[in-house]
Structure 1
Amino acid sequence: MPLSFSCATRLGGVLTVCLLATQPALAQLTEMPAQRLGLVPLPREVKAYTATYALPQKISIYATGKDGSNVAGLLKEMLTGLGKTVTLTSTRAGANIALLTAATPNPEAYQLTVDQQGIRITAAGGPGLFYGAQTLLQLLPARSAATAPVPYVRINDQPAFRWRGGMLDVSRHFFSVEFVKKYIDLLAAYKLNTFHWHLTDDQGWRIEIKKYPKLTQVSAFRKETLIGAQQLFKTPAEFKYDATPYGGFYTQDQIRDVVAYAQRRYVTIVPEIEMPGHSVAILAAYPELACKPGTYETWTMWGVNEDIVCPTEPTFRFFEDVLSEVTALFPGPYVHIGGDEAPKTRWKESAAVQEIMKKEGYTDVEKVQGWFNRRIEKFLASKGKKLIGWDEILEGGIAPSATVMSWRGEKGGIEAAKMGHDVVMSPTTHMYVNYGQSPKPHSPYEPLMIGGYIPLDVIYNYNPLPAELTPEQQKHVLGPQANLWTEYITTPAAAEYMLFPRLLAVSEVAWRPAAGKSYAEFLPRMGQQFARLDAKKVYYRVPEPLGLDSASVVRQNGKAVFTLRSLVPGAQIRYTLDGHLPDETTGLYTKPVAVPLNKGLTVRAVTITPGGRKSPPAELLVN
């Protein structure tokens, strides 16, 4: 039966939803709650039914055109990984899955229908077909099965935001091409479409530049790395180092490979080349670019360094040469120049900078950075690229076409949007997934981290559209982005632990309008994703049991009664009443537990997954 569409424009023309005409085969069936599907992010409109389509062991996928063939090829790879035998066909008849095209205003919108005729994904082109395929994969069992029952559904979906980002810092700690591809896969699986690749910083330069070979011979390596949490050290004597050389970089061929990999998954890569601050690694190889003569080395500490490049003509030639190679490698529209945390101590002492200020009529040295940024912006524009930078770029003045990434809260983003600049909302208060996941600073049950506390609900409940902005100004908010800085994240497993399950919350912030979100409804859907993360060998943080907090405990008849539940399906909850850490041998939670009040007992509980992984403990001192 052919598909038909009706489209309606909403919210002043910003969002357009195209609805499938009612399918008689579905209209006569019994509906079930869409929640039971466990989809993340939850699609805009979902109707689910109790009937299922039996996807067989041998599957045929129909697709035509470049994008259809690309998505069909990706879907074949994914289904083959689930044990299926898949063939691609250009004949519609008999196909189990059909990828169809239809004109829709939003290229990322899609419609997914499953009924007795099979599975149909309809979109304007590649992005929408790809996102429909990701939703389909979440309707299938997490692991291979001979016959996969797919619930009958009718789904109409599109994203709330154009920019749905995740950043990975590979400068502080280097990550292999294999992991970068896995990171991109995980972004794409949850419909995030932008990979911000932080490639350079004081602690290491990670991209091959042919014209400046010392960037990979010298700047890509540091002699050693700081041991422990730097923010806790109070005296120089506390700073200890591992005496182990560390580094790495990506060749241009590797960059091209990763870019092609991302393009195939409709993920845009935004490279970040830091300037003028966070540039000590550059000075280690090319000290002549400094304002202050001397010998420099790639930094072995974290934080902000006062040694930055000098805004002289040799520095501009250096960055223009670098950006010429960078823009040739990355086809996306944006290049991130950083622009943050650039102390002006060296610039204030520099005769060259004083001459610039005199020539330009500046009395504030901060204006020199604005002048620097505008020159770089003009050069990027000559290469067909847009400049984006952290919100500090506002302080010295920026070109009208520049985009601002707001990280120091929302203030910079609000200011930029009011000025007419496009904005990406990435505040430390909500979107920094390198921050802690435990309310206890530097908890012994959590890995070493930079500090802070951003639990799952804080991320989920974030609205990237500040109420201070008018509807017209809100149009400049491209979307949200989660950032993973890696000062204390040294391995892929550590990165995954910080990302998940919080990235699932980020995906819903980016995909769904704020008015259509519910944290209480999100949690059980999130729980159904853990089996999928297990299948992908993602080392997520196992959530501690819920219910062990003062607000949840019921106090009656001289006792405290706590009722616990796990967010991981099939998991056990183990607990103790003596303050010891629970494990497989301690009490198994099966029903509400009562403990006497006024005894000073510490109750602790952990989740133990079906695979044997444990959560950090939830704990409560009962008084």
Structure 2
Amino acid sequence: MESTYHFVEKVIDEIAKLHQAAGQPFTRYHIGADETAGAWKQSPQCLAFIAQNDKGVKSVDELGAYFIERISTMLAAKGIEVAGWSDGMSHVRPENMPAKVQSNIWDVIAYKGYEHANRQVNYGWDVVLSNPEVLYFDFPYEADPKEHGYYWAGRATNSHKVFSFMPDNLAANAEQWTDIQNQPFEADDRIKLDEAGKKISGPIEKGKSFRGLQGQLWSESVRSDDTAEYMIFPRLLMLAERAWHQAAWEVPYQYQGALYNQSSGAFTLAMRDAQAKDWQQLANTLGHKEFIKLDKAGIDYRVPTVGAEIRDGKLFANIAYPGLKLEYRSLNGQWQTYQAGQAVIAPIEIRALAADSIRKGRSLIVN
């Protein structure tokens, strides 16, 4: 319906006026294009549009592409770059799109998400990695029913996983991660052809690279500011680390393509050791220095749970961020400061404190 495009253009023009009045350039507009399933396919209007066949649309399967292409071209004519989510953008015909396009990749790496990312960066688009199993902050930190969050793409996304991300070589993450069922997976970054010999996927072309990373917090199940801050921090700090610093331990990208799994060996023992040392340095920096800054700023970051066990009647515990204080107690008893090797009688309850010792983390029972 032509009225649809008139409406969209009117909205864009009014938004442009608001930007002009505010003195803020209007350079990019994100159209969404997320989960474009095709509910319109039996619409009488759409079927008549195809039958008319004066816009080059030959089937209902091309309707979504036509809509996105036309809106994108409209935006480009106004000097505005179009952006959208990778699934909707994957339906378009690249030759019908403007030269300048941004696509947010939300495909799961373990389920060939790297193929969409590679294909769209090879179009020359600005590809922003937004992969859910590592960059969706509405996922729980740990696989525990008491942790807030969804888990459709990954059962848990703790701060270490975000830190360990190798964004410049998506497929190489198969060497260090598992899929949602906690099973090893294989990522084949090499050229693949269909039966007719047409290329269907392959590596990134030399000279092309991803534009950046984006963290997401989908907030429909977030009911308060402190819950939002809990889900965002400290994972946001790890996102910044990976977005702004390429670590020496990251597996270099192989432009000829490569196959990665948990025995392929590209992520060497030396690289893994360097990653562990980098993590320890960062974890100590957070625990001894940065968390107190967040406390002073009034940010309710997640205080981690404690790892603990009782051996020969003595309590031993550790924490992801050294420097944070630990407390323990007999059930319903008084909280006491933890000391390694303290004699206890099981069961006991243990927890960590925020850097300012005011907020408390979630406690665990140790038998």
Question: Is TM > 0.5 for Structure 1 vs Structure 2?
Answer: yes
**1:405 equivalent among 104, 110, 115:** 104
SS at match of 1:389: strand
**1:458 equivalent among 115, 139, 161:** 161
User: Does structure 1 residue 353 correspond to structure 2 residue 353?
Assistant: no
User: Are 1:327 and 1:383, in contact at CA under 8 Å, matched by a contact in 2?
Assistant: no
Distance 1:355 1:384, change over 3 A: same
Q: What CA deviation, in whole Å up to 9, does each residue of 1:413-444 have, x standing for no partner?
A: 12212333321000110001111123213x1x
Alignment of 1:337-348 (within 5 A): 337-345=31-39, 347-348=40-41
Cα distance between partner residues in 1 of 2:167 and 2:26: 23
User: Are 2:118 and 2:203, in contact at CA under 8 Å, matched by a contact in 1?
Assistant: no
Cα distance between partner residues in 2 of 1:355 and 1:513: 53
- 1:537 corresponds in structure 2 to 298
Distance 1:594 1:408, change over 3 A: farther
- 1:614 corresponds in structure 2 to 360
- 1:241 corresponds in structure 2 to none
Question: Aligned letter for 2:102?
Answer: T
Superposition deviation, residue 374 in structure 1: 0.9
For structure 2, the 5+ residue unaligned runs are 172-188, 190-201, 250-274
- 1:507 corresponds in structure 2 to 240
Cα distance between partner residues in 2 of 1:525 and 1:332: 39
Q: What CA deviation, in whole Å up to 9, does each residue of 1:367-399 have, x standing for no partner?
A: 211111111111111121211110112124342
- 2:284 corresponds in structure 1 to 524
Q: What CA deviation, in whole Å up to 9, does each residue of 1:174-211 have, x standing for no partner?
A: xxxxxxxxxxxxxxxxxxxxxxxxxxxxxxxxxxxxxx
Distance 1:513 1:542, change over 3 A: same
Superposition deviation, residue 343 in structure 1: 2.9
Superposition deviation, residue 590 in structure 1: 1.4
**2:25 equivalent among 331, 354, 364:** 331
- 1:32 corresponds in structure 2 to none
**2:124 equivalent among 411, 414, 420:** 420
Cα distance between partner residues in 2 of 1:382 and 1:364: 27
Cα distance between partner residues in 1 of 2:3 and 2:31: 18
Superposition deviation, residue 567 in structure 1: 2.6
Question: Aligned letter for 2:339?
Answer: T
Cα distance between partner residues in 2 of 1:613 and 1:474: 48
- 1:247 corresponds in structure 2 to none
Q: What CA deviation, in whole Å up to 9, does each residue of 1:240-259 have, x standing for no partner?
A: xxxxxxxxxxxxxxxxxxxx
Cα distance between partner residues in 2 of 1:379 and 1:338: 16
Superposition deviation, residue 490 in structure 1: 3.0
For structure 1, the 5+ residue unaligned runs are 1-311
Superposition deviation, residue 566 in structure 1: 6.7
Could you say which structure has the higher helix fraction? 2
The two structures have a TM-score, normalised by structure 1, of 0.43
Question: Aligned letter for 1:320?
Answer: E
Question: Aligned letter for 2:135?
Answer: M
Question: Aligned letter for 2:101?
Answer: A
Q: Give structure 1 regions of 4+ aligned residues with deviation exceeding 4 angstroms.
A: 360-364, 469-474, 558-561, 593-596
Alignment of 1:134-533 (within 5 A): 312-328=1-17, 329=19, 331=25, 333-345=27-39, 347-358=40-51, 359=53, 360=55, 362=57, 364-392=59-87, 393-398=89-94, 399=97, 400-410=99-109, 411=113, 412-441=116-145, 443=146, 446-447=147-148, 449-451=149-151, 452-465=155-168, 466-467=170-171, 468=189, 472-473=205-206, 475-515=208-248, 518-527=278-287, 528-533=289-294
Distance 1:434 1:380, change over 3 A: same
Distance 1:531 1:614, change over 3 A: same
Superposition deviation, residue 565 in structure 1: 4.1
Distance 1:397 1:554, change over 3 A: farther
Cα distance between partner residues in 1 of 2:136 and 2:236: 11
Distance 1:389 1:520, change over 3 A: same
SS at match of 2:352: strand
SS at match of 1:563: strand
The two structures have a TM-score, normalised by structure 2, of 0.70
Question: Aligned letter for 1:606?
Answer: R
Superposition deviation, residue 331 in structure 1: 1.6
Question: Aligned letter for 1:455?
Answer: N
- 2:266 corresponds in structure 1 to none
Q: What CA deviation, in whole Å up to 9, does each residue of 1:443-484 have, x standing for no partner?
A: 1xx45x444521111111112112447574573301111001
Could you say which structure has the higher strand fraction? 1
Superposition deviation, residue 525 in structure 1: 1.4
Find the structure with the greater CA-based Rg: 1
CA RMSD of aligned residues (A): 2.9
User: Are 1:562 and 1:594, in contact at CA under 8 Å, matched by a contact in 2?
Assistant: no
